[in-house]
Amino acid sequence: MSTHLEKAQRVVVKIGSALLTDAETGKLNRTWLQALVEDVARMRARGQEMMIVSSGAIALGRRALKLAPGKLKLEESQAAAAVGQIGLAHAFQEILSAYGFSCAQILLTLEDTEERRRYLNARSTINTLLKLGAVPVINENDTVATTEIRYGDNDRLAARVASMVSADCLVLLSDVDGLYTAPPHLPGAKHLPEVAEITPEIEAMAGDAASIYSRGGMKTKIAAARIATEGGARMAIANGRSLHPLKAIEEGARCTWFAAHSTPFAARKRWISGSLKSLGTITIDNGAVKALMGGRSLLPAGVTAIEGEFGRGDAVSVHDAEGHEIARGLSAYASDDARTIMGHSSHEIEELLGYSGRAEMIHRDDLVLKKP
Ligand code: GLU
């Protein structure tokens, strides 16, 4: 089981506020963070892609603003996050750069992972950062998120991020070492090292206990597990209290692993071909059909007709010259712009549209070929 982490290609590590900040003083726990970054650096050196979802903005900011202990009002926590996020990002930047990494701050709101157009943008930015070797450090944009449209907890945010970027592993580091059959302090409570399926019994085992800083109790962790495993990632709930928590997992520290229900690739393809309604049709020439069959992206040059009205990121059907549906995909252009650039080569896009959009009309990652 310890090899789950070592075998992963793309890993999201979520850090709870209770680990990053001292409960007494509210100060950032630098020694701990440094040890974590050391773990991240070691995994990176092995060729694994790493990103961090970090809580702690509110916990740090409330101390700086001298807010009274206890539950904060929404606007107070938003104010605290505005202050705390700077300190948080600064600490990550300082420590990551000491290990030779560029630190990239990404603040997301719920709409960024739920609305397809924004989702595609966030996804491609994170992919680009990973390609360039940076370590994305992600948090919710608490300051602008309103009650109705916020995650509220970073467990689910991390799970959404994991499935958005097709990560194959998510580790939730907090102050619990996994899921138990009953509250851990009760006699007879048994630790579960592996959960193959999130059944109603498993859900019932999740109590509601959350620490004073983090809103995410076991319930949100199970909700996160559902999202992550359906998106093709294996997920661990692990205790991050000791230094080098990732190394500890690799060395067999107690934690709970939730099995992935598919691969990130299959989950994404299923999402594109199965759950999205096609809003238009893009007809392509034989050359483009060949390119698609060969695993390439769809370029505007090979497009001969566009039907329907669709926006950027909407699902469309791709037809060959005879009108057979050969693929489904997410269009990088809205239908009007797609009509303008169809038949043209990609370097003409800027001149035709007045902005430099993507070179592909449908990127191959956003394309699913129909079975012949
Ligand atoms: N986004 C919040 C923060 O940075 C944390 C939410 C959570 O505790 O899960 O303070």
**What is the spatial distance between Cα 137 and Cα 88, in angstroms, rounded to a whole number?**
10
Asked if residue 212 has pLDDT above 50, the reply is: no
Residue type, 98: A
- Percent of the chain past pLDDT 90, that is, above it, reads 72
**What is the spatial distance between Cα 273 and Cα 210, in angstroms, rounded to a whole number?**
38
Asked if residue 18 has pLDDT above 70, the reply is: yes
Mean pLDDT of 130-157: 87
User: Between these two residues, 136 and 113, which has the higher pLDDT value?
Assistant: 136
CATH of domain 276-369: 2.30.130.10
The pLDDT of residue 87: 95
The pLDDT of residue 324: 95
Asked if residue 214 has pLDDT above 50, the reply is: no
The pLDDT of residue 267: 85
Asked if residue 266 has pLDDT above 50, the reply is: yes
Q: In this predicted model, what pLDDT tens digit does every residue of 335-363 receive, in sequence order?
A: 999 999 999 999 999 999 999 889 999 99
Lowest mean pLDDT among 3-17, 45-59, 194-208, 253-267: 194-208
The pLDDT of residue 207: 64
Residues carrying CATH 2.30.130.10, the chain: 276-369
Closest of 31, 27, 57, 52 to residue 41, by C-alpha: 52
Q: What are phi and psi of 109, to 5 degrees?
A: -110, 165
Mean pLDDT of 57-77: 92
The pLDDT of residue 115: 77
Asked if residue 80 has pLDDT above 50, the reply is: yes
Q: 37 exposed, middle or buried (CB, 10 Å; 0-12, 13-18, 19+)?
A: buried
Residues carrying CATH 3.40.1160.10, the chain: 3-268
Q: Is 359 helix (H, G, I), strand (E, B) or coil?
A: coil
Per-residue confidence band for 145, with pLDDT thresholds at 50, 70 and 90: confident
Residue type, 242: S
Tokens read off for 259: 């099995």
Q: Ligand 1 centre and the CA of 80: distance in Å? A: 11
Q: Is 45 helix (H, G, I), strand (E, B) or coil?
A: helix
Residue type, 212: I
The class (CATH top level) of 3-268 is: alpha beta
Q: What are phi and psi of 263, to 5 degrees?
A: -100, 155
Asked if residue 227 has pLDDT above 50, the reply is: yes
Asked if residue 210 has pLDDT above 70, the reply is: no
Residues with CB under 6 A from ligand 1: 17, 55-59, 81, 139-140, 142, 153-154, 214-216
Residue type, 73: K
Is 101 in contact with 51 (CB distance < 8 Å)? no
> Could you give the maximum distance between any two Cα atoms of the chain, in Å?
71
The pLDDT of residue 215: 40
Q: Ligand 1 centre and the CA of 114: distance in Å? A: 19
Asked if residue 1 has pLDDT above 80, the reply is: no
Mean pLDDT of 29-52: 97
Ligand 1: which residue has its CA nearest to atom 5? Answer: 55
Per-residue confidence band for 213, with pLDDT thresholds at 50, 70 and 90: very low
Tokens read off for 237: 């709930």
Q: Is 323 helix (H, G, I), strand (E, B) or coil?
A: coil
Mean pLDDT of 298-316: 95
Residues 337-355 as b/e (b if ≥16 CB within 10 A, e otherwise) read bbebbbeeebeebeeeeee
For 121, the enclosing helix (H) or strand (E) is helix 116-131
Length of the chain: 372
Closest of 1, 6, 9 to residue 264, by C-alpha: 9
Q: Ligand 1 centre and the CA of 206: distance in Å? A: 20
Beta bridge partners of 303: 284
Q: In this predicted model, what pLDDT tens digit does every residue of 110-119 receive, in sequence order?
A: 888 877 778 8
Q: Where are the beta strands (DSSP E) in the chain?
A: 10-15, 49-54, 103-108, 135-140, 169-174, 179-180, 191-192, 194-195, 234-239, 255-258, 281-284, 303-307, 315-319, 325-330, 367-369
Is 290 in contact with 353 (CB distance < 8 Å)? no
Q: In this predicted model, what pLDDT tens digit does every residue of 285-297 receive, in sequence order?
A: 999 999 999 999 9
Q: How far apart are the first and last CA of the chain?
A: 39
- Percent of the chain past pLDDT 70, that is, above it, reads 95
User: Between these two residues, 236 and 266, which has the higher pLDDT value?
Assistant: 236
Mean pLDDT of all residues belonging to the chain: 91
Choosing from 54, 74, 153 the residue with most ligand 1 atoms within 8 A of its CB, the one to mutate for a pocket test is: 153
